[in-house]
Structures are given as C-alpha cells and as structure tokens.
Amino acid sequence: MGLAKTEIFTDEQNAIAAFAKAFAHPARVSILQHLYKINSCVCGDLVEEIGLAQPTISQHLKELKNLGLIKGSVEGTSVCYCIDTENWTAMKNLMSQFLDQDLTNKQDCC
C-alpha cells in the first residue's frame, strides 16, 4: 500500500521512525553536516555546496524544518538556516535511548 500503519505502534516508535526518516537521505545528512560545520546561519550556498537543483534542496529543507530540526529566518532577499539546538537535543536523546539499549549482557545466539 505504501502507507505505514502508524496506528498500531507507540508514539515513541513513530517518533523514532519520523526522525530517522529525516536522516534517511544523504542530501539531508549533508545539509545537516554543513549547518554544523559552518556553525552559523547558512544563506543560500547550500545549492552549490550539495549539488542538487534549487527546488530539490528547498524541498529537503522544508522537511527538516517541518520536523523542527532546523530553523529558517528571512534576511533580506535570502533565507538563513541553522540547527534548532533545542529540538536537536531532544531528538538526540530519543534516538540515543533507542540506539544505546543495553548490549552488555547481550550475546549473539544465532
């Protein structure tokens, strides 16, 4: 069908999946890494930096903004984007909880 049956899963499971989906495309990974590296707003140069067409980048930015991972503000003719640190930290805590499930007393049995 193409549509996930979100109603049979917990809010946490759906939230983890939603954040993971944000990272499930290398262009969005690249955008986020660039925003980190620059450590400030990025105005416009993402298109040249990434190498995809402007509408494509704009679409990826929109998805990241809808999830709250980045913020954008208009600066004259251009728009500046940066990481939303508060939401990023919240996302990171959720993902870490999932990734760091205790492995100490776990052993492969297959």
* Residue numbers at the binding site for a second copy (CB under 8 A): 4-6, 8-10, 13-14, 16-17, 20-30, 32-33, 36, 39-41, 50-52, 71-73, 80-86, 88-89, 91-92, 95-96, 98-103, 105-110
List the x/- string, 20-59, binding to DNA by CB under 7 A: -x--xx-x---------------xx--x----xxxxx-xx
Identify residue 73 by its one-letter amino acid code: S
Query: Taking a C-beta distance cutoff of 8 angstroms, is the pair 55, 45 a contact?
Result: no
How many residues are there in the chain? 110
- List all residues 6 or more positions away from 75 whose beta carbon is below 8 Å from its beta carbon: 41, 43
Instruction: Name the binder of 66 from a second copy, DNA, none, CB < 5-8 A by kind.
Output: none
* Total binding residues toward DNA, as defined by CB under 7 A: 29
Which of these segments, 31-39, 75-83, 86-94, 95-103, binds DNA (CB under 7 A)?
75-83
- List all residues 6 or more positions away from 19 whose beta carbon is below 8 Å from its beta carbon: 67, 69, 91, 94, 95
